Each structure stands twice: as C-alpha cells, then as structure tokens.
C-alpha cells in the first residue's frame, strides 16, 4: 500500500494561555489492483491507522459516548513535554481511499474531552442550505 500525507490543519489554539490544540491531516491510501492502483478499502485504512498508533506507548482505546461506528477509532494517551503532562486523543476516521487523523491535545483532560464532544457533534451540511448561501454570496459580489 502507498500513502501520501497532506496536512489540513496544523494547529488551532482555542484560548490564549491554553495548551489545547488540534492537529489534523489526511492520507491518500492506495493499493495495487489487478491492472492499476485503486483506493484502499476501509479494513486496509484501519490497518494503516493501527500501524501509526502502534508506535504510541501506553495508549488505550477511547470510546465516545453515543457514537459507535466501524468508520472511526480513537485512542487516548499521555506523555510529557517541557515538564508538563500532555493528555491526547488521536482519532482515525476511515473513508475509502482516505484516512483522516485528528489529534486533540491539552494539559487538561476535560478540555480534550470537550473538544472531542464538539468534533463529533458537527452535523453534515444540508445541500439546500449550501445553495442558499451561494445565492447570498453571489448577490454581494
């Protein structure tokens, strides 16, 4: 399998003086097909995520309340940086041919869990609303 790493969000700080940050990137993942390279399937994407996470020590699976799916998986772990304990949750979101990896970190566990709550409460955009917004923007131009 082959993959290309593409950063989406390097770091977002939510509050001045806070250590809370989000780092996100996605990987294009392809595999050899019969005649050409094809997008990797979900089990292959999961294997890539597990391989990435195998390098993290002392991790345990993190379960998000009221969210169960075979298309994402989370791990929580902590480490020390500049004499401070950092708490992290790494999330892999699996799509055919793509892995979206989101790391949320902070020195405060509750901050990370609250950010996870907000991340998993993002709703899918309604196509009708998107068309409406495009019309509004076209009037402004």
Pairing state of beta strands 72-81 and 60-61? antiparallel
| Fold annotation for 2-140 | Protein Transport Mog1p; Chain A (3.40.1000)
Measured between alpha carbons, how far is 104 from 12 in angstroms, rounded to an integer?
10
Instruction: Evaluate if residue 54 carries a pLDDT over 90.
Output: yes
Rounded Cα distance between 46 and 4, Å, is 16
Query: Could you tell me the residue ranges of all domains in the chain?
Result: 2-140
3-state DSSP call for residue 69? coil
φ and ψ at residue 127, rounded to 5 degrees: -55, -35
**The most confident of 11-20, 31-40, 92-101, 125-134, by mean pLDDT:** 92-101
pTM to 2 decimals? 0.73
pLDDT the model gives residue 68: 76
Q: Measure Cα distances from 121 to 48, 63, 71 in Å.
A: 25, 15, 16
């Amino acid at each position: 399998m082959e993959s290309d790493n593409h950063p989406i969000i390097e770091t977002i700080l939510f509050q001045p003086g806070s250590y809370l940050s989000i780092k996100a990137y996605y990987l294009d993942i392809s595999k050899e097909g019969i005649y050409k390279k094809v997008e990797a399937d979900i089990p292959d994407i999961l294997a890539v995520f597990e391989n990435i996470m195998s390098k993290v020590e002392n991790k345990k699976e993190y379960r998000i309340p009221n969210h169960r799916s075979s298309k994402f998986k989370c791990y929580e772990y902590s480490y020390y940086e500049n004499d401070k304990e950092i708490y992290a949750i790494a999330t892999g979101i699996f799509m055919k041919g793509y892995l979206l990896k989101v790391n949320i970190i902070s020195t405060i566990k509750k901050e990370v869990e609250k950010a996870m709550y907000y991340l998993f409460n993002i709703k899918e955009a309604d196509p009708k609303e998107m068309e409406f917004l495009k019309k509004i923007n076209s009037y402004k131009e």
